[in-house]
Amino acid sequence: MRILIAPDSFKESMTAKEAADAIEIGIRKVMPDAVCVKVPMADGGEGTTQSLVDATNGQLFQIEVLGPLGDPVTASFGLFGDGKTAVLEMASASGMQLIPHDRRNPLFTTTYGTGQLIKAALDKGAKHLVIGIGGSATNDGGAGMFQALGGRLLDKDGYELPYGGGSLDRLHTIDASNLDPRLKDVTVEVACDVNNPLTGENGASHVFGPQKGATPEMVERLDSNLKHYAKIIKEQLGKDVDQIPGAGAAGGLGAGLIAFLSAKLIKGVELVIQHTKLEQQMAGVDFIITGEGRIDGQTVFGKTIFGISTLAQKHNLPVIALVGCIGKGAEAMYEHGVTAMFSILSVSCTVETALQMGRENLIKTSENIARVLKLGVR
């Protein structure tokens, strides 16, 4: 039997690779001769860097960068096994988890550290960048990222703008003359699962600003500042980024990546499927086993299991989903290629205990699934 094992991470319990290894252990207890093809997966959010590094036999690097409020933080990026493609998550350098609740203020938070991660990837020889932009603490339209890569954002007196979305109303001149020249030879793909424009009621500031610490007054100010920012970009760079779907992702970093790096926005799980060559890996398999921490009504909006199951449906392959929790609305996935789903929890317990027992429970559940599959073969 040939089984494709392609789970996402079980957050705070196992990486995608660790989950794939656990599933394989359970299967081999029953079917030691099974061919297990393991492809660690992700959906473009947290864990994408680790999954793509693991899936391509790449390497992970850690560097010190400027955090969202200017404090030094340790961030990571990965290099694929081909040595030419780098992957990074902006949240690693500029994410919400890096700031305590009482210090969150999108007037001042910056994507500068994300730009430093990009520069570090260029230093390693990367010619292609894969960037996940979920979980940001910022609302600066990617201004800090641009500055970290050598760009200058100047006010009417020729002074550099300070970091943060609160100063973008003073933008007068975009100076890209000292932008890192290596960027001209680099292609950029961005994992982006939201369709929000840069500004307006559905834009970055109104929709995501409050969760980043913005008061209603700050939201209006930030939105107005981004409108001005988009206006200057259009006038001076000839790129109209304001209403592009996804431009408002990560506090407008989507817009900045389009404007300054000519990036292409792609749904996260589709991007990961592309770079792991998952469809090619499906050739000749009998079953697919996937999984992640939770499956529910939100899974159909582009989570990992949805991406895998819809692709498997195209090839008429059965998909078994192993998850920590089966939530409300999960049954919708039966219409999108999932054949069966199982919770790996074996006893009632606290969340902390469930996370600690994740690997053990995943092995046990995989073993039981293998016993049923073996019965079917007989």
Radius of gyration of the chain from Cα atoms? 22
> Could you tell me which of 163, 133, 134, 128 has the C-alpha nearest to residue 148?
163
Q: Distance between CA atoms of 54 and 314, rounded to whole angstroms?
A: 26
For 2-38+288-377, give the CATH class. Answer: alpha beta
Q: Distance between CA atoms of 223 and 219, rounded to whole angstroms?
A: 6
Sign of the CA dihedral running 228, 229, 234, 236: positive
* Range(s) of the chain covered by CATH 3.90.1510.10: 48-268
Q: What is the pLDDT along the chain (378 residues), one digit of tens a residue?
A: 999 999 999 988 999 999 999 999 999 999 999 999 999 999 888 889 999 999 999 999 999 999 999 999 999 999 999 999 999 999 999 999 999 989 999 999 999 999 999 999 999 999 999 999 988 999 999 999 999 999 999 999 999 999 999 999 999 999 999 999 999 999 999 999 889 999 999 999 999 999 999 999 999 999 999 999 999 999 999 999 999 999 999 999 999 999 999 999 999 999 999 999 999 999 999 999 999 999 999 899 889 999 999 999 999 999 999 999 999 999 999 999 999 999 999 888 888 888 889 999 999 999 999 999 988 766
CB 199 within 8 A of CB 223: yes
CB 323 within 8 A of CB 353: no
Q: Which helix (H) or strand (E) holds 228?
A: helix 216-237
* Range(s) of the chain covered by CATH 3.40.50.10350: 2-38+288-377
Q: Distance between CA atoms of 286 and 187, rounded to whole angstroms?
A: 36
Report the interhelical angle of 268-276 vs 304-314 (nearest 10°).
60
Could you tell me the pTM of the whole model?
0.89
Topology of the domain covering 48-268: Glycerate kinase, domain 2 (3.90.1510)
What does the pLDDT read at residue 376?
73
Q: Distance between CA atoms of 292 and 294, rounded to whole angstroms?
A: 6
